[in-house]
Amino acid sequence: MPIYVALSTLTEEGSKTIKKNPARILEVNKDIEAMGVKILSQYALLGEYDFINILEAPDNNTIVRMSVEIGARGSVQLQTLPAMPVNQLIEDLQG
């Protein structure tokens, strides 16, 4: 199944929500999984982005729907990228 990387930055509203209710992160994870996207791993970050998620989804359409739905809530801005295992890249390059 395709793998994706989602980099997210909390908005001011999102930061306030997480401060008041840190468990909200897990609630959003359930929403994401209900959309057909599996969260393989998730980390909080320091720097330009607040979180990185490694995701698995059946196709680009599912990821786009998830990204638009979560982004439309106004608490986070997402950048979602397709990812390829390095071994797959090597195999493809070797032909």
If you classify domain 3-94 with CATH, what class do you get?
Answer: alpha beta
**pLDDT tens digits along 4-44:** 999 999 999 999 999 999 999 999 999 999 999 999 999 99
**pLDDT tens digits along 46-84:** 999 999 999 999 999 999 999 999 999 999 999 999 999
What's the pTM value of the predicted model, to 2 decimals? 0.90
Question: What secondary structure does DSSP assign to the chain, as a single string?
Answer: --EEEEEEEE-HHHHHHHHH-TTHHHHHHHHHHHTT-EEEEEEE-SSS-SEEEEEE-SSHHHHHHHHHHHHTTSSEEEEEEEE--HHHHHHHHH-
